[in-house]
């Protein structure tokens, strides 16, 4: 049956397209135990021990359940230092499913971001993008560049119902090109989907218009393809022109609009570790292939074991399978709809990898200096042992010039759903916990920093209750 025929039976329930063959027990803690754990973690959910967590919605990164085929692939690891056959399987998969010509494996996404930033960015350059991501922006800055957000305004409004809040505002880009000149803009940085906006997709129409504009000015497009299959699924669902395309064909069409890609394979591609840089240009490939031996390892393994590359090659094929991606995004939408029905303020439309609580609307009695999203993540953990992630002022860091906090418009708590790990019953427990916290929201107090590291402060900062 064609994919679009399957998607026409929307009114029928769906269930996970897999059954469970191995289980991992999780620990249910008491409120008292959670109070101690959170205070020992400095009110930072990144510093909790996973043993103290019941349902872990910190991230969808590296937390997927691999399939039996992937585990079988792990047994076929060729751990040769050079020329592992698993590298060639991975190279074939990247060419076939994404369409890029050259592959440089890395241990995870940020290593690819580091290399492409160092290769393409010169001191004083401007890198426009559809909203920042923490590690992407940091590597652009470390290479001497300045990131400028050119996402459409709708993306900064949690209540706006635009179906493609990941779209680029082409006028903003044209203004930047006029102001700085195309020579100061080595590339446009495009993510599918946009994590910090709430897991929001970009449309192919917008991406194709962007391609035209970039071609006109001879500017490259670098694609953060971390969640490209999820983006492709949303295109199939909501962009009429592509409703009868397969998700797999849409993925290739997206990649075809771009010149190079960084991949954190720990998300879409269903592995616990891995990533890569993919490029079409031979010269950039040469530079990256040389650079990877300095930072990661030989160019036929990057930071990965042979078995990891095999699991990734198989994970890529599974990630574009229609039944998989429909259930994956469907589970996120299920939780989101439940919270919307309960009147909880969330980013709308519901994104593809998690549900994002609007902490400003949830806790209107706290101002941004009192770190509402960080406080809310702590309150949720205390209620039920569900771990979420702050995506607000703490994540946004400081302005490197003034040293002041960056104050993002979006002050969010992300409930991120790992792939193929939790059941619908887990989602129900999460929804009930959020409802309970919402009912008692007035009692939630703010936090202040007591320790703050220099880079990516959200990972290791410590806080105290105000
Ligand atoms: C996520 C992560 C993991 C993470 C990273 C930094 C702060 C908090 C959590 C990682 C991404 C991502 C996108 C769009 C690049 C990376 C880096 N996301 N681009 O969402 O979402 O990849 O972690 O493999 O190095 O929890 P890496």
The rounded Å distance from CA 141 to ligand 1 centre is: 17
pLDDT of 8 reads 52
Does the pLDDT at position 7 exceed 60? no
The best mutation among 46, 110, 135 to test binding of ligand 1, ranked by most ligand atoms within 8 Å of the C-beta, falls on 135
Q: H/E element holding 354?
A: strand 354-358
Predicted confidence (pLDDT) per residue in 125-164, tens digit: 999 999 999 999 999 999 999 999 999 999 999 999 999 9
Q: Collapsing DSSP states into helix, strand and coil, what is residue 20?
A: coil
Say which DSSP state 96 is in.
I
Q: Decide if 194 contacts 166 (C-beta within 8 A).
A: yes
- The pLDDT of residue 104 is above 50: yes
Q: So what's the pLDDT on residue 14?
A: 82
Which candidate, 38, 46, 36, 43, places its Cα nearest to that of 448?
43
Q: For ligand 1, is residue 266 a contact (CB within 6 Å)?
A: yes
Q: Is the pLDDT of residue 111 over 60?
A: yes
Give tens-digit pLDDT for 303-334: 999 999 999 999 999 999 999 999 999 999 99
Q: Which positions are catalytic?
A: 81, 133-134, 224, 267, 391, 458
CA 108 to ligand 1: nearest atom: 24
Inter-residue contact 231 to 192 (CB < 8 Å): yes
Q: Report the separation in Å between the CA atom of 61 and the middle of ligand 1, taken as the mean of its atom positions.
A: 7
Among 194, 201, 226, 277, residue to substitute to test ligand 1 (most atoms within 8 Å of Cβ): 226
CA-nearest of 382, 368, 127 to 262 is 127
Q: What is the mean pLDDT of residues 19-44?
A: 97
Which residue puts its alpha carbon closest to atom 2 of ligand 1?
Answer: 61
Please provide the average confidence, as pLDDT, over all residues in the chain. Answer: 96
User: In this structure, are residues 437 and 419 in contact, taking their beta carbons and an 8 Å threshold?
Assistant: no
> For a pocket test of ligand 1, which of 109, 191, 231, 417 has the largest count of ligand atoms closer than 8 A to its C-beta?
109
Q: What is the pLDDT of residues 75-88, one digit of tens each?
A: 999 999 999 999 99
Instruction: Assess contact for 383 and 38: CB atoms under 8 A.
Output: no
Global model pTM greater than 0.85: yes
* CB distance 59 to ligand 1 below 6 Å: yes
* 191 within ligand 1 shell (Cβ under 6 A): yes
* Pairing of the two strands 146-149 and 126-129: parallel
Distance between alpha carbon 89 and the CA centroid of its chain, in Å? 25
Encode 209-277 in three state secondary structure: HHHHHHHHHCCEEEEECCCHHHHHHHHHHHCHHHCCCCHHHHHHHHHHCCCEEEEECCCCCCCCCCEEE
145, 150, 154: which is closest to 184 by C-alpha?
A: 145
Q: How far is CA 66 from CA 200, 226, 333, 363, 456, in A?
A: 25, 17, 22, 37, 29
Other CB atoms within a 10 A radius of the CB of residue 398 amount to 14
22 burial class (0-12, 13-18, 19+ CB within 10 angstroms)? exposed
Q: Is 224 in the pocket of ligand 1 (CB under 6 A)?
A: yes
Looking at residues 105-121, what average pLDDT do you find? 98
Q: Which residues contact 50 (CB under 8 A, 6 or more apart)?
A: 56
């Amino acid at each position: 049956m064609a994919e679009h025929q399957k998607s026409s039976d929307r009114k029928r329930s769906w269930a996970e397209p897999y059954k469970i063959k191995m289980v991992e027990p999780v620990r249910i803690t008491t409120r008292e135990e959670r109070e101690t754990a959170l205070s020992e973690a400095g009110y930072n959910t990144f510093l909790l021990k996973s043993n103290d967590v019941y349902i872990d919605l910190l991230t969808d990164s590296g937390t997927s359940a691999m399939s039996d085929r992937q585990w079988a692939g792990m047994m076929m690891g060729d751990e040769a230092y050079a020329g592992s056959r698993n590298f060639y399987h991975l190279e074939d998969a990247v060419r076939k499913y994404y369409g890029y010509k050259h592959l440089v494996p890395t241990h995870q996404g940020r290593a690819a971001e580091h290399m492409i930033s160092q290769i393409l960015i010169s001191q004083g350059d401007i890198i426009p993008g559809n909203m920042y991501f923490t590690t992407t922006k940091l590597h652009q800055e470390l290479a001497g560049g300045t990131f400028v957000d050119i996402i459409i305004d709708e993306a900064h409004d949690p209540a706006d119902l635009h179906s493609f809040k990941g779209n680029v505002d082409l006028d903003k880009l044209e203004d930047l090109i006029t102001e700085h000149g195309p020579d100061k803009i080595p590339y446009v940085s495009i993510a599918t989907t946009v994590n910090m906006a709430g897991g929001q997709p970009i449309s192919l129409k917008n991406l194709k218009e962007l391609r035209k504009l970039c071609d006109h000015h001879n500017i490259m497009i670098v694609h953060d393809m971390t969640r490209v299959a999820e983006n492709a699924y949303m295109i199939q669902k909501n962009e009429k022109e592509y409703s009868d395309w397969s998700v797999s064909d849409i993925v290739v069409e997206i990649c075809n609009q771009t010149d190079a890609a960084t991949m954190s394979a720990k998300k879409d591609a269903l592995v616990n570790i891995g990533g890569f840089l993919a490029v079409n240009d031979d010269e950039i490939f040469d530079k990256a292939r040389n650079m990877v031996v300095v930072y990661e390892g030989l160019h036929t393994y990057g930071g990965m074991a042979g078995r990891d590359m095999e699991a990734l090659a198989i994970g890529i094929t599974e990630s574009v399978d229609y039944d998989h991606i429909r259930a994956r995004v469907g589970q996120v939408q299920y939780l989101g709809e439940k919270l919307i029905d309960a009147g909880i303020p969330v980013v709308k439309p519901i994104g593809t990898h998690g549900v994002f609580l609007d902490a400003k609307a949830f806790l209107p009695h706290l101002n941004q200096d009192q770190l509402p999203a960080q406080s809310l993540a702590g309150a949720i953990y205390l209620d039920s042992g569900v771990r979420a992630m702050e995506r607000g002022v703490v994540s946004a860091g400081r302005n490197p010039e003034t040293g002041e906090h960056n104050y993002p418009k979006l002050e969010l708590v992300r409930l991120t759903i790992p792939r193929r790990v939790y059941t619908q019953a887990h989602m129900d427990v999460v929804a009930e916990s959020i409802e309970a916290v919402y009912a008692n929201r007035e009692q939630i107090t703010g936090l202040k920093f007591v320790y703050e590291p220099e880079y990516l402060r959200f990972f290791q900062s410590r806080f105290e209750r105000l």
